[in-house]
Amino acid sequence: MKKPQQALHTVFKAACATAALIGLAAANVAHAADAGNGKVLVEAHNCAACHGANLNKPVSPEYPRLAGQHSDYIYWALRQYQMGNGNPHFGRNNAIMQAQVQTLSQGDMKDIAAYIESLDGDLVEKK
* 124 is a domain residue: no
More confident residue, 5 or 76: 76
Whether residues 42 and 79 fall in one domain: yes
* Helices 106-118/35-44 angle, 10° precision: 100
pLDDT surpasses 50 at 28: no
pLDDT surpasses 70 at 23: no
pLDDT at position 123? 73
- Mean of all residue pLDDT scores within the chain: 83
Distance, in Å, from the CA atom of 27 to the CA atom of 74, rounded to the nearest integer, reads 24
Q: Give residue 32's pLDDT band: very low, low, confident or very high (50, 70, 90).
A: confident
Whether residues 18 and 74 fall in one domain: no
Name the residue range of residue 62's domain: 33-118
DSSP character for 86?
Answer: T
* 68 is a domain residue: yes
Average of pLDDT values for 88-112?
89
User: Model confidence over 41-53: pLDDT tens digits?
Assistant: 999 999 999 999 9
What's 43's domain CATH number?
Answer: 1.10.760.10
* 80 is a domain residue: yes
Whether residues 13 and 58 fall in one domain: no
Whether residues 100 and 40 fall in one domain: yes
* 40 is a domain residue: yes
The answer to whether the pTM exceeds 0.75 is no
Longest dimension (CA), the chain: 79
Average of pLDDT values for 85-91?
66
Whether residues 6 and 51 fall in one domain: no
Whether residues 57 and 14 fall in one domain: no
Whether residues 3 and 65 fall in one domain: no
pLDDT at position 54? 94
